[in-house]
Amino acid sequence: MVKSAYIHIPFCKKICSYCDFCKVFYNTNFCKRYLLAMEKEIHDYYQNEELDTIYIGGGTPSSLSILELEKLFQILSIFRRSNHCEITIEANFDSITKEKIDLFKKYGVNRISFGLETTHDWILQKMNRCLDLDYVKEIISYCKRIGIDNINVDLMYAFPGESLEDVEEDVSFILSLDVCHISTYSLILEEHTKLYLDNVKTISEELDSNMYQRICVLLKDYVHYETSNFAKDDKYSKHNLCYWKNKEYYGFGLGASGYYGDIRYSNTRSMTHYLQDKYRYQEEKLSIYDKMEYEVILNLRTKWGISKSAFFISYGKKLEDVYSYSDLVERGYLIEKDDYVMIPYSYWYLSNEILVLLLEEFHDE
């Protein structure tokens, strides 16, 4: 049963040098047509389920004008929402205004995720972003004042040339904002990004790892509940947990991906196709083994790990019969605790290695 929906707004006023996600320059004319196309997509596919989470991401959703945002929320009003439905929207400080926040509030948005990334001017410049730290403080406190206190701030680290001290300064600034959720990502140089084409050098594995460790220490008052996510007061991102717990979700909009039944799909990244109502780009039909693999990969990113009983209920097989992990437990790479199997906290940052070792132990009976 689908209980979550992701809505993609691909427009940006500026293109960040590291971003390889699906985005286009903001343009009023395109935006109008885009919203209409997306309305049609939602009509075509949405099965009237009651949703627990709605996530409006981008791109930069806050780059839309008030009118366009009004239109967007009208489109989204088709979704049936549960009582505690989490509605998140992503925003950037260079396009967000108090007026837009008021509008969010009016349409039931109860969580805002801000892209801050760094506080350092020279890095912002290389990222092709801009930021006014005073305005950041003002906006955050405004959100809290009008009752949107479920706020996330994104922090990016391991930018070429960045030092450990730079990251520490970023973290202490974010801590001063006193938000309940922080996401941290180490920069990945993706192909086809400006940064990649500029041939910049990544920082050393050591420094990257030191930054990560340092962030973990500085954020000790938060619960590190997923590889890159920290939360206070149980304000976990319900929507992201839907991904990590391998639950179904819709993805609407350009380049969005979704999962329902046996299908994982992704939408076209071509605006032309999308505007011609050719939404779907590819669909992957999942075998039970694919599903089990996703279940393992995704759940092991969280502090809770994977539930053996839930695994058995979903797939009719015991986790240990499909992946013989006892050796990994013996070597200390996995912990088995009651119903759960998880990666020990000290190894989180090497989770790829451990996942590969685990997936190698796959047995088809």
Partner 1 sequence: MKKENIRNFCIIAHIDHGKSTLADRILEKTGAISKRELKNQMLDSMDIERERGITIKLNAVQLTYHYHDEEYYLHLIDTPGHVDFSYEVSRSLAACEGALLVVDAAQGVEAQTLANLYLALDNNLTVIPVVNKIDLPSADLPKVTEELENIGFSKEEIIYTSAKTGEGINELLEAIINKIPAPVGDHHKPLKALIFDSVFDAYRGVIISIRVMDGEVKVGDIIKMMETGATYDVVGLSIDTPKEKAVTSLKAGEVGYLSASIKSISDVEVGDTITLEKNPASEALPGYKPMKPMVYCGLYPIESSKFEDLREALEKLKLNDSSLTFEPETSKALGFGFRCGFLGLLHMEIIEERIEREFGIDLIATSPSVVYEVVLTDGSKVMVDSPTKMPKREVVSKTLEPYVKTSIFTPSDYIGPIMELCQDKRGTFINMEYLDQTRVTIHYNMPLSEIVYDFFDKLKSYTKGYASFDYELIGYQESNLVKMDILLNGEVVDALSVIVHKDFAYQRGKIVVEKLKEIIPRQMFEVPIQAAIGTHVIARTDIKALRKNVLAKCYGGDVTRKKKLLEKQKEGKKRMKKIGSVDVPQEAFLSILSTTEK
What does the binding site for partner 1 look like in residue numbers (CB under 8 A)? 6, 8, 21, 55, 57, 183, 185-186, 188, 205-206, 208-209, 212, 227-228, 240, 243, 249, 251, 255-259, 264, 266, 284, 290, 293-294, 297-298, 301, 333, 347-356, 359-360
How many beta carbons lie within 10 A of that of residue 167, not counting itself? 25
Q: Report the SS3 class of residue 54.
A: strand
Residue 208: CB minimum distance to partner 1, A: 5
Is the Cβ of residue 68 or residue 90 nearer to partner 1 in the bound state?
90
Is the Cβ of residue 149 or residue 208 nearer to partner 1 in the bound state?
208
**Taking the CA of residue 167 as centre, how many other CA atoms within 13 Å lie in the half-sphere pointing to its CB?**
28
Residues 6+ apart with CB under 8 A from 183: 113, 152, 153, 154, 155, 228, 229, 230
**How far is 36 from 71, CA to CA, in rounded Å?**
9
Residue 134: CB minimum distance to partner 1, A: 28
Is the Cβ of residue 67 or residue 188 nearer to partner 1 in the bound state?
188
Is the Cβ of residue 133 or residue 216 nearer to partner 1 in the bound state?
216
Is the Cβ of residue 259 or residue 311 nearer to partner 1 in the bound state?
259
Is the Cβ of residue 26 or residue 249 nearer to partner 1 in the bound state?
249
Residue 327: CB minimum distance to partner 1, A: 10
**How far is 57 from 35, CA to CA, in rounded Å?**
14
Please report, as a single letter, which amino acid is at residue 303: K
Q: What angle do CA 112, 15, 269 make, to 5 degrees?
A: 85
Residue 98: CB minimum distance to partner 1, A: 27
Residues 6+ apart with CB under 8 A from 277: 37, 40, 41
**How far is 344 from 347, CA to CA, in rounded Å?**
6
Residue 249: CB minimum distance to partner 1, A: 6
Is the Cβ of residue 165 or residue 206 nearer to partner 1 in the bound state?
206
Is the Cβ of residue 57 or residue 180 nearer to partner 1 in the bound state?
57
Residue 350: CB minimum distance to partner 1, A: 5
Prior bond of 59 cis (ω within 30°): yes
Residue 186: CB minimum distance to partner 1, A: 6
Alpha helices in the chain (DSSP H): 28-45, 66-76, 98-106, 121-127, 133-145, 164-177, 194-197, 205-218, 238-244, 271-275, 288-299, 308-315, 319-322, 326-330, 351-360
Please report, as a single letter, which amino acid is at residue 261: G
Residue 185: CB minimum distance to partner 1, A: 5
Q: Report the SS3 class of residue 30.
A: helix
Q: How far is CA 36 from the centre of its chain?
A: 25
Please report, as a single letter, which amino acid is at residue 348: W
